[in-house]
Chain A
Amino acid sequence: MKLLTANRLTDGVTLWHTGTGWSEDAAHAARLDDEQADALLTDWKTRETEVVGPYLIPLTPDGNPVQREQVREFIRANGPTIGQTADALSQAHGRADIFES
């Protein structure tokens, strides 16, 4: 399984593909099977007026990004970990942190 993620062109905000569109909240990211993920990535790579640098994040069976991506993707999903509340995406979205840190 994989997630599809990118940054929005206009403001650079981190986006997560929900299977039907994009969300700013990683909690809504769809767990995509490999074939679907590859097809979506191919499609979005050409749609450059909407997103920048789309890529796939491989997942472990428990739904976390694979180890080598885990810290980086935890921070992308939940915001900087430095205690500035304005930056806490999890609070902005009214949810707990997702992915294990």
Chain B
Amino acid sequence: MYVYDSFDHTFVRERNAEFADQVARRLSGELSEDQFKPLRLMNGLYLQLHAYMLRIAVPYGVLSSKQVRKLAHIARTYDRDFGHFTTRQNLQFNWIKLADTPKILEELAEVEMHALQTSGNCIRNTTTDQFAGAARDEHTDPRPWAEVIRQWSSIHPEFTFLPRKFKIAITGAAKDRAAIRVHDIGLHAKPEGFDVYVGGGMGRTPHLGHLIKSSLPGEQLLSYLEAALRVYNRYGRRDNIYKARIKILVSALGPEEYARQVEEEWNTLDKAKIDAPSAEIVRIRSFFPDPVFTDKTFDRVALERAQIADPAFARWVKNNTHAHKRDDHVSVTISLKPVGLPPGDASSAQMDVMADVADQFAYGELRVSHEQNIILPHVAKTDLYELYRQLDAVNLSTANGGKITDMIACPGLDYCTLANARSIPLAQDISQRFADAELTDKIGDLQIKISGCINACGHHHVGHIGILGVDKQGIEFYQILLGGRADEKAALGQITGKGLSAEAVPAAIERVVQLYLKLRTDESERFIDALERLGRDTFAEALHEPA
């Protein structure tokens, strides 16, 4: 992974010192809340319903075991012993004291972490494929490019006060696991160059991104991004917060006209001053080598025996491992979705165990997925059973990767000042309803995504089943969307049926799922495929209690 040089260390240290001074001046009364709020947000510090929330950047979701141990320490020392992993592959602490924040940032800097650009109208953390550098279907490792973008976008003087926040996602695999079509800019890294999608996004007005450039050479990526951002920065709607995202501009201009303006701007730029020199790209690539893979011989028979002897382990191997570029390795998903508990949460003790098993079995590397799970990207198959047993001892062995209980849920009204309705209790109720492992396996791949408000932090627009919490004169209601997907066939779900109470949602989903099980051609036809074949109307009636 990328290692800070002296510039990075100095930069983070200076920013921390600056923020420590701002906190001191706020506490003394020298700064008013109106003056302080934009400053704290630039450092990832929000004030939520019950306390301050600190959002820590995890660049493109990559973590070392040392960093995870530090996060565990912070959870234990400064928070309530747990952290919440987010859909932007970051980590949030929900119970932070303002006065502790400078010390926390100091501790983070010790392990090359910070909270910069996790809020505000700037370029946020670039997200990517959680299996980057490991997946069998990958053609280009997106991590070096994500790092190139991180360095370019960090306190970029022109793009620190954009019309609205700006999110970039990048994939380098045939299967899109980074949801690139629902980002302000989505990049598909291919051997021949980048496909550039612009104007995607969720929130109040969801849009899928449009392809505006193909085969863009990597050496010209930054200047092209600079041109794309510059057109947006110039014409984005600063007069109306609800129309300020790039998707609105691209939609208003039309993708062809927007692309033309970007091209025109690009041609005026002195590209050599903006693009990373080839030698720099090579240098950054050098931070992302393969680990020195173990030479332990893979004992296939032993693994098969263990699976026969322990069906729970067999199920975990089936659901929570992903094909690796090496035959003797896999990538492992550590599910943070145990039945009945908040999606994406991990206790400090669990974080410590994840760091330990990463050191023992995964070359010290972990990832955060945008589905709010933790990934061990490189695990020798020979080590799977021992890894499973250690995870199982701390309730981290839930075998539901990609299944109906592997839900995305935003923090919702239990924590968030923006939310209209609760998300986490609903996710808990749904996971209880589908707690039967046999049933979830029978259902197969099905993604539920829950947002507590229209801002769509829970990605409800791209859930196979999306759930949107709304406030109806002080009462929480939930709209159900069907047919969304965030993969390479990205589609936006459509609101289906009338809003439901929280109590009615789990049963409604169960009726939809039972109908799917009845109508699917066979076990290989996934829920989303059946939905596309049969149409939403087929399932709409099932959402509501039969009269």
Complex contacts, A11 vs chain B, CB 8 Å? 51-52, 97-99
Binding site for B on A (CB under 8 A): 7, 9-14, 48-49, 52-53, 66-72, 75-76, 79-84, 86-87
User: How far is the CB of B472 from the nearest CB of chain A, in Å?
Assistant: 10
With contacts A12-B97, A48-B32 taken as known, whether A81 is within 8 angstroms of B425 at the C-beta atoms is: yes
Asked whether B474 is an interface residue with its Cβ less than 8 Å from the other chain, the reply is: yes
> Quick one: which of B459-484 are within 8 Å of A by CB?
471, 473-476
Contact of A52 among B33, B415, B425 (CB under 8 A): B33
B103 CB-CB contact with A under 8 Å:
no
Does B260 have its Cβ within 8 Å of any Cβ on chain A? no
**Distance A7 CA – B340 CA, assembled complex (angstroms):** 30
- Please, which residues of chain B bring their CB within 8 A of the CB of A69? 474
- Using Cβ atoms and an 8 Å threshold, which residues of chain A touch B422? 71, 75, 81
A82 touching B98, Cβ below 8 Å: no
Among A9, A49, A68, A82, the residue within 8 A (CB) of B473 is A68
Contact A75-B52, Cβ < 8 Å, known A11-B97, A11-B99, A70-B474: no
Q: Closest Cβ of chain B: how far from A55's Cβ, in Å?
A: 12
A84 touches B342 (CB 8 A): yes
30 A-B pairs, CB-CB below 8 angstroms?
Answer: A10-B99, A11-B51, A11-B52, A12-B48, A12-B50, A12-B51, A13-B51, A48-B29, A52-B47, A53-B33, A53-B47, A67-B473, A67-B474, A68-B474, A71-B413, A71-B421, A71-B475, A72-B413, A75-B414, A76-B50, A80-B414, A80-B415, A80-B424, A82-B342, A82-B414, A83-B340, A83-B341, A84-B80, A84-B342, A87-B80
Q: By the criterion of a CB under 8 Å from any partner CB, how many residues of chain B are at the interface?
A: 35
Q: How far is the CA of A52 from the CA of B50 in the complex (A)?
A: 12
The distance in angstroms between the C-alpha atoms of A84 and B50, with both chains bound, is 14
Q: With contacts A12-B97, A83-B428 known, what are 5 further pairs, Cβ within 8 A?
A: A11-B52, A12-B48, A68-B473, A71-B422, A80-B424
Q: Which residue of A lies closest to B48 (CB)?
A: A12
Q: Is B49 an interface residue (CB 8 A)?
A: yes
The yes or no answer to B441 lying at the interface (CB within 8 A) is: no
Question: How near does chain B come to A65, taking the closest CB pair, in angstroms?
Answer: 9
Inter-chain contact A14/B98, CB cutoff 8 Å: no
**Cα of A80 to Cα of B413 in the assembled complex, Å:** 8
Cα distance A72–B475 in the bound complex, in angstroms: 10
Q: Once the chains bind, are B98 and A12 in contact (CB under 8 Å)?
A: yes
In the complex, B504 has a CB within 8 A of chain A: no
Q: Is B28 an interface residue (CB 8 A)?
A: yes
Residues of A within 8 Å of B28, CB to CB, are 49
Chain A hits for B97, CB < 8 A: 10-12
A67 and chain B: residue at smallest CB distance? B474
B27 interface residue per 8 A CB criterion: yes
Chain B residue contacts of A79, Cβ below 8 A: 50
Complex CA gap A67/B471 in Å reads: 11
Return chain A residues, CB-CB under 8 Å to B96: 12
Q: In the bound complex, do residue A49 and residue B27 qualify as a contact, i.e. CB atoms below 8 Å apart?
A: yes
Q: How far is the CA of A79 from the CA of B471 in the complex (A)?
A: 19
Distance in angstroms from B158 CB to nearest chain A CB is 32
Q: How far is the CA of A76 from the CA of B425 in the complex (A)?
A: 16
**List of B residues within 8 angstroms of A83 by Cβ:** 340-341, 425, 428
Tell me, rounded to whole Å, the shortest Cβ–Cβ distance linking A46 to chain B. 10
Chain B, Cβ-Cβ closest to A83: B428
Docked CA distance A52–B49 (Å): 12
- Give Cα A67 to B473, complex, Å: 7
**6 pairs of A and B residues whose beta carbons are closest in the complex:** A67-B474, A80-B414, A11-B97, A12-B51, A68-B474, A49-B29
Write out the residue numbers on chain B whose beta carbons fall within 8 Å of the beta carbon of A71. Answer: 413, 421-422, 474-476
Q: Is residue B107 contacting chain A, with contact meaning CB distance below 8 A?
A: no
User: Is the CB–CB distance between B50 and A14 below 8 Å?
Assistant: yes
Which A residues are CB-close (under 8 A) to B81?
86
Who on chain A is nearest to B45 by CB? A12
Across the interface, which residues of A come within 8 angstroms of B80, CB to CB? 84, 86-87
List residues of chain B with CB within 8 A of the CB of A10: 27, 97-99
Which residues does chain A contribute within 8 Å of B424, judged by CB atoms? 80, 82
Interface readout for B74-113 with A: 1 if CB under 8 Å, 0 if not?
0000001110000000000000111100000000000000
Residues of B close to A67: CB separation below 8 A: 473-475
